[in-house]
Amino acid sequence: MLYFIADTHFSEENIILYENRPFKTVQEMDREIVMRWNNTVKYNDIVYVLGDFGATGNEKAVLSHLNGDKFLIKGNHDTNSNIYYREAGFKEVSGLPVILDSFWILSHEPLYVNKNMPYANIFGHVHNSPVFKTYSSQHYCVSVERTDYTPLAFEEIISRVKGNL
């Protein structure tokens, strides 16, 4: 199966305050996200992390506890080199948006798409900002605050986007 998640911000204590996350400590947050990830994602599944993975300096340790083959579309907080993230455990890393199945643009930040364009955008970055809806006929936000801190299955994204056509 294929999953998406964004803005995990592992080991970043300030994100709890900035985004009103329901955790008392960064250790509790990290444990809960790892548990929810592994309860959803199986060993042979694929997960696209759409930026802001976190765990700066500790990526390898965190990635070793997460199921699945992991691909990173870098976000504004993922400031190390692509080689660094590959050596930490990501299968592949991109600093640019990626097009999946000739229709889905995978990016960290939301991209402009309209009904006359043959694309839909899966993104993160905006966390729980009320300025952005979670999904529409041409986009889906997979920031962890919108996915119950759990990777979201591609089939669910497709179903919700198609339901808005």
Mean pLDDT to the nearest integer, 122-128: 97
Residues in the chain: 165
Give pLDDT tens digits for 104-122.
Answer: 999 999 999 988 999 999 9
**Is the pTM for the entire model greater than 0.85?**
yes
Tell me what the mean pLDDT of segment 146-161 comes to. 96
Give the model's pLDDT for residue 162.
86
Of 114 and 89, the one with more pLDDT: 89
Mean pLDDT value across residues 67-90: 98
Q: Which helix (H) or strand (E) holds 4?
A: strand 2-5
Q: What is the pLDDT of residue 115?
A: 87
User: Alpha helices, DSSP H only, in the chain?
Assistant: 14-18, 26-40, 59-64, 82-88, 154-162
Rounded Cα gap, residues 65 and 75, in angstroms: 21
Residue whose pair of structure tokens reads 């400590």 in the numeric block: 25
Whether residue 165 is predicted with pLDDT greater than 70 in this model: the reply is no
Residue 72: strand pairing partners: 49, 93
What local confidence, expressed as pLDDT, does residue 16 receive? 97
Average pLDDT, the chain: 96
- If pLDDT is split at 50, 70 and 90, which confidence band does 88 have? very high
DSSP sequence for 104-146: EEE-SS-----TTSS-EEEE-SSTT-TTS-SEETTEEE-BGGG
